[in-house]
Amino acid sequence: MKLFLNVEKARIPIKQFMTRGIMGIDKNETIKNACKKMIEFGISSLAVLENEKIVGFLTKKDIIDGIAKGFSVDEKIKKIMSKNLVFCDSSVPIEEVLNIMANFQVRHILIKEKGEFIGIFSLKDIIDLQKFNLETQISSD
Amino acid sequence: MKIAHISDTHFPHIIKESFDRTVEMINNSDVDFVIHTGDLVDRGYLREYEEAIKAFSMVKKPIIFVPGNHDGKNVGLKLFENLIGPLSGVKEGKDYVILYLNSVIPDMNEGRISNSSFLWLKEKLRKYIDKRIKIVSFHHHLVPVPNTGRERNVLFNSGDVIDILIKYGVNLVLSGHKHYPNIYQLEDLLIVNAGTMCSVKTRLGDKNSFNIIEIDDKIRVKTLRMDEIRERVYTRKKERIYNVESEKLFRIVQIAGTFIDETDIFNKKMFLNAFKKIEELNPDFIVHCGDIVNEGLIKNYALASKYFNLPIFFVPGPRDINYLGYNLFPKYFGLKERHITKKVAFKFLNSSQYDSDVGVVGRGQLNKIKQFSRNLSEFKIVVLHHNLLPIENTREKGLLEDAGDVLYELTRLKIDLVLTGHSSHPSARKIEDTLIVNANSLSCKKQRSLFGNSFNVIDVYKDFIYVSEIQSLSGSRHVLGIWKRK
């Protein structure tokens, strides 16, 4: 991923790149409903909530893995969610955040500020920007 | 921490009574220091500086002086540096930092944070990112201020400045310039403009004033006009997690800048792909915020009418009404005034004038907004072409000439959502209780976003508003922001 960033950009805190606000879903909702909500909001991850507190994380990949393992779409998401939350503080430079994400092999990371979850960063955010160069060429044909 | 925020003294044209009284109040108060947000003197002359220095020697608290456009007249900034202090600097405390900088373009009323100052600001914000309280100060106002007439001299690049201040979590911006005290909360950033402390140049027959700002876990701003005190208290928003189970009320697709014509400024492929996606999204309403055609010519209007097959609400941009467009727009697209249902009400404004990029709402339409705000719909939306807030990556030229008053009324009336479509760059910001969303150009080759041509989807849920931007070409979607509903 480092290829995408120049040295100057790499020092910028993740605060600059993250999305403020996190979409959450109750842990007792079904896998099917989680899929519907991901489509509705155009996102590929959801924070999993218990009494409005984040207790897990669910990505498209968790769902595909779950289905492949034989879980039915009517089962509860708490069965397939990741219980280990990967997060960092909002002041960490993006270069370091990308390292953390690579080490944990995740595509999404939760962002904390003053001890509270405030946002999320996804690799897709960077890829979307990079795609632009390519698309400009395609569209000018 | 307590700060006295004074501004625009304009020596030697002062009302001595106001000056003396303010100094006495400051000296007798427990403020930690004073910040003067520019226009210390009126013409930048040596005599004026000497008089100001003598007068300010009466103040018994430390003072930070920020340069203003009047201080820079007649090469006055050199004198400012020699006699008053540096044009920019840092004041650091245990849990706070104040960054002040020069926004003056010599001999001009307009302001600008120059490229090097902007980089300096960025570097300092990075360095002090862990400070609990971050305050930035410069002379020119960051967003349009009410009751100040034609709104043509905010900072050239205030859109970029706003963006960086919000992204780095700055708490407070202190400015002056317009001689009218005003406070806005823009996202988590509190924007405080001071009135004039002692100059004869007041607006609306207003009195001289200054602010006392107290910061602990909340920010309290007291505006002290000579015989009255107004206080407002702000806290940062806490809501950060939004439950997807909230009831969905309706979906709006917001587009702008289609620029339809026969030349290659109109990117047909972008347009067709975007509309394929829009149909898929199945919106309840589609709103076009103007610049439908590239120029207001018959052939463009005739072409454009073939492209729009879905029901759309249109407001005109300046492109639509130049040449013959003024007559063609109502004929082809209709100039609807409002659309009201129980759930949602739209008010459409024409802010465009022909042969001018500058927009105007005017008093007549402003009165109609006031009437509109009294309707009983649960959610009220105002749609116009021109920008009310500066947009990142653009010079502030897209603003309305009466942006100060229009912004004030829309926020005062607690309009839920304002949709605009100038400047070819997406933006979504909440100011006070009003969310203002700007759409990028959907299919014009000239656009300014790294994400490419795009349009916005605004989903209104019972508990929050979810705004995302969709690339015209690929249909990729990314979130511009989520805001709790009041």
Q: Do B244 and A37 touch (CB under 8 A)?
A: yes
Q: Spell out the domains of chain B, with CATH numbers in brackets.
A: 2-234 (3.60.21.10), 248-484 (3.60.21.10)
Q: CA–CA separation, B286 vs B251, rounded Å? A: 9
Residue B320 CA to residue A103 CA, distance in Å, equals 53
3-state secondary structure of A65: helix
Q: Quick: pLDDT tens for B301-319.
A: 999 999 999 999 999 999 9
Mutate to test the interface with A, among B123, B134, B167, B241 (most CBs of A within 10 A): B241
Mean local confidence (pLDDT), B457-482: 94
Please indicate whether, in this complex, the C-beta atoms of B451 and A41 are within 8 angstroms of each other: no
Closest CB from A29, A91, A131 relative to B474: A131
pLDDT confidence bin for A130, thresholds 50/70/90? low
pLDDT at A3: 41
Q: What is the pLDDT of residues A14-65, one digit of tens each?
A: 988 899 999 999 999 999 999 999 999 999 999 999 998 999 999 999 999 9
Tell if the CB–CB gap between A128 and B451 is shorter than 8 Å.
yes
Residue A56 CB neighbour total at 10 angstroms: 20
Is A91 in contact with B130 (Cβ distance < 8 A)?
yes
Q: B77-113 pLDDT, tens per residue?
A: 999 999 999 999 999 999 999 999 999 998 888 899 9
Residue B2 has pLDDT above 50, yes or no: yes
CB B444 within 8 A of CB B453: yes
Nearest CA in chain A to B251: A40
* Shortest distance, CA B169 to any CA of chain A (angstroms): 9
Examine the pLDDT at B238 and tell me if it is beyond 80. no
> Which pLDDT band, with edges at 50, 70 and 90, does B439 fall under?
very high
Please judge whether B242 and A139 are an interchain contact, meaning their C-beta atoms are less than 8 angstroms apart: no
Of all residues in chain B, the one with the smallest CA distance to A11 is B126
According to the model, what pLDDT value does residue A141 have?
A: 46
How much of chain B, in percent, has pLDDT values that exceed 90? 83
Task: Supply the mean pLDDT for chain A.
Answer: 87
Which run of H or of E encompasses B281? Answer: helix B268-281
Q: CA–CA separation, B58 vs B23, rounded Å? A: 7
DSSP-derived 3-state class of residue A5: coil
Q: Is B127 in the A-facing interface, judged by CB distances under 8 Å?
A: no
Contact (CB, 8 A) for B368 and B335: no
Query: Which residue is closest to A13 within chain B, CA to CA?
Result: B126
Using CA coordinates, name the residue in chain A closest to B454: A132
Interface of B with A in 35-94 (CB under 8 A): none
CA distance A103 to chain B (A): 25
- Give the residue from chain A lying closest to B282, CA to CA: A40
The predicted pLDDT at position B234 comes to 84
Task: Say if the Cβ atoms of A139 and B270 lie within 8 Å.
Answer: yes
Average pLDDT in chain B: 93
What single-letter amino acid sits at B379? F
pLDDT at B365 over 50: yes
- What is the pLDDT, as a whole number, of residue B39? 96
**B451 in A contact zone (CB under 8 Å):** yes
At residue B66, the pLDDT reads: 98
The answer to whether the beta carbons of residues B268 and B305 sit under 8 Å apart is: no
Class of domain A2-139: alpha beta
- Give the minimum alpha-carbon distance from A82 to chain B in angstroms, rounded to a whole number: 18
What chain A residue is nearest to B481 in terms of C-alpha separation?
Answer: A20
Contact B244 A23 (CB under 8 A): yes
CA of B239 vs chain A CAs: smallest distance (Å): 8
Residue A85's alpha-carbon distances to A102, B212, B363, in angstroms, are 14, 43, 54
**String of b and e for B292-311 (b: at least 16 CB within 10 Å)?**
bbbbbbeebbebbbebbeee
Q: Which two tokens stand for residue B267?
A: 């990117």
Contact flag A29-B245 (C-beta cutoff 8 Å)? yes
Task: List the one residue out of B336, B344, B360, B335 whose CA is nearest residue B422.
Answer: B360
Contact B192, B149 (CB under 8 A): no
Query: Residue B396: what pLDDT?
Result: 72
A15 contacts on B by Cβ (under 8 Å): 129, 167-169
Please give the pLDDT value at position A124: 83
Nearest to B318 by CA among B259, B264, B392: B259
Residues 129-158 of B with CB under 8 A from A: 129-130
Q: Tell me if chain A has a CB within 8 Å of the CB of B475.
A: no
B126–A117: do the CB atoms touch at under 8 Å? no
The confidence score (pLDDT) of residue B152 equals: 62
- Residue A2's pLDDT is what? 36
pLDDT band at A137 (very low <50, low <70, confident <90, very high): low
Contacts of B248 in chain A (CB under 8 A): 40
Give the pLDDT confidence of B279-290 residue by residue, as tens digits.
999 999 999 999
Judge whether residue A135 has pLDDT over 70. Answer: no
Q: Which residue has the higher pLDDT, B166 or B393?
A: B166
B241 and A49 within 8 Å at the Cβ level: the answer is yes
pLDDT of A5 above 70: no
How many C-beta atoms surround the C-beta of residue B281 within 10 A? 16
Give the span between the Cα atoms of A35 and A23, in whole angstroms: 13
Average pLDDT over residues B48-64: 97
Q: Do B126 and A13 touch (CB under 8 A)?
A: yes
Is-contact A57 A85, C-beta < 8 A? yes
**pLDDT tens profile B192-209:** 999 999 999 888 778 899
Q: Does residue B261 have a pLDDT over 60?
A: yes
- Residue A131 — very low, low, confident or very high, per pLDDT cuts 50/70/90? low
Contacts of A138 in chain B (CB under 8 A): 473
Residue B168 touches chain A, beta carbons under 8 Å: yes
B205-223 pLDDT tens trace: 788 999 999 998 889 999 9
Measure the CA–CA gap between B298 and B285, rounded to whole angstroms.
Answer: 27
Could you tell me which chain B residue has the CA closest to the CA of A24? B243
State residue B355's pLDDT score. 83
* Res. B266: pLDDT tops 50: yes
The residue ranges of DSSP E strands in B155-264, in sequence order, are 172-175, 182-186, 189-193, 209-215, 219-225, 228-234, 241-243, 248-255
B443 touches A at CB < 8 Å: no
b (16+ CB within 10 A) / e for B255-279: bbbbbbbeeeebbeebbebbbebbe
**Is A41 close to B466, i.e. CB distance below 8 A?**
yes
Across B386-394, average pLDDT: 91
- Range with the lowest mean pLDDT among A9-13, A35-39, B472-476? A9-13
pLDDT of residue B220: 94
Banded model confidence at residue B398, pLDDT cuts 50, 70, 90: low
Mean per-residue pLDDT, B471-481: 91
Name the minimum distance, in Å, from the CA of A36 to any CA of chain B: 10
Peptide bond into B12 cis (omega under 30): yes
Strand partners, A51: none
Who among A12, A21, A139 is closest to B481 (CB)? Answer: A21
